[in-house]
Structure 1
Amino acid sequence: MINDGGAIVVIIGAPGSGKTRAGKRLAKILDAPLIDTDKVVVASHGPISELFAEFGEEYFREREREAVADALLQPAVVTLGGGAVLNLETRVDLASHRVVQLTMSKATARLRIAGSSRPLAKNADEWEKLVRERRPLYDELSSLTIDTSLMPMEKVAREIADWLGSQQQ
């Protein structure tokens, strides 16, 4: 079921898969606002790595859920943090939206997450374990999956825009 209001499209996927970069380009193509829920949390509560360190993952996930619930009500391109799909309420909400999953290979992850401050995916092995655990949720929630490993983000965004156009026919 596709929602007549709220988010134009929601982009989910593993950390480092390009959700924010593709979302920015897609928002520009669609002339729509972009809401990156990680950025919303950071703006309101501070850096994610600090929230994890100071208050723990559960606290962060509660703040993330609030940001996601608000974002899904907006007529915007919405990008979710990699773990947002762990929340049952978020998964229920996503059932009424167009959801795109971005993926990438472990080799690409090794390059993209090197030196990052991601609290749960500091290296490619941690990333791979995390993705293996979350992949069934990503797959269940998404109607379109795009591997960004070797694809320029402009092309990823164009593919999503084309898919959205085909959904309106």
Structure 2
Amino acid sequence: MVLIGPMAVGKSAIGQQLAQHLAAPFVDTDVAIVASHGTIADIFAGRGEHAFREIEARTVAEAIEAAEGSNTVISLGGGAVLDSGTQQLLGRCTVVYLECDADTVSERIAKNSGRPLLAGDAMGRWRTLFATRQPVYERLADLVLDVRRGSVPDLAHRLEDALEEYAAAKTAAGRTPAATKEVEK
């Protein structure tokens, strides 16, 4: 299962909590990139965004392929979904879009200045990035979890319940349900 959504939405925190609930491995692709290549800010500064996106696409592909057939929870960076190869790989996964708005993430973004794409007017840049990425998140999602309200443990429990319902519906139908299901609020 793969968590997607904009920067600072809580993919890592909710993903870690969900993995604990499921007794499943957790992979944060941004953490994997940093472990192998150095900080994301340094990659952007030294090699540029294009080089970062290539590294990111390879890292995501490795994580998805390594997790195939398991219950692994994978958290992607906010822009990872823009890669067409990544989009194709996500077709093999259950994809959860963590839905939010600018108010939800503004405090977290203000505290974290290490995001290269948010240099300068962080919230203005976040809004611009989100506007271009939101349709991709929505198109790729099997489930949508509104993260505007609730603690991380509460959100992880709601997502766990929704995943169980989704799996049951998928099994009963013998295929993937046709419509994206929004997780109950």
Q: Same fold (TM over 0.5)?
A: yes
Spell out the pairing of 1:1-169 with structure 2 (5 A cutoff): 9-73=1-65, 74=67, 75=70, 76-116=72-112, 117-122=114-119, 123-169=122-168
Deviating runs (4+, > 4 A) in structure 1?
Answer: none
Which secondary structure state, in structure 2, belongs to the residue aligned with residue 124 of structure 1?
A: helix
Larger of the two Rg values belongs to structure: 2
Gaps of 5+ in 1: 1-8
Aligned CA RMSD, in angstroms, stands at: 1.1
Superposition deviation, residue 112 in structure 1: 1.2
Residues 2-29 of structure 1 deviation map (CA, whole Å, 9 limit, x = unaligned): xxxxxxx100000000000000000000
CA distance in 1, matches of 2:108, 2:146: 14
User: Aligned residues: percent identity?
Assistant: 39
Contact 1:121–1:130 (CA under 8 A) maintained in structure 2? no
Residues 74-116 of structure 1 deviation map (CA, whole Å, 9 limit, x = unaligned): 1310000000001000001111210001122212221111132
Comparing both structures, which one devotes a greater share of its residues to helix? 2
CA distance in 2, matches of 1:46, 1:52: 10
With structure 2 as the length reference, what TM-score do the two structures score? 0.84
CA distance in 2, matches of 1:113, 1:165: 32
Gaps of 5+ in 2: 169-185
With structure 1 as the length reference, what TM-score do the two structures score? 0.91
Superposition deviation, residue 153 in structure 1: 1.1
Contact 1:84–1:90 (CA under 8 A) maintained in structure 2? yes
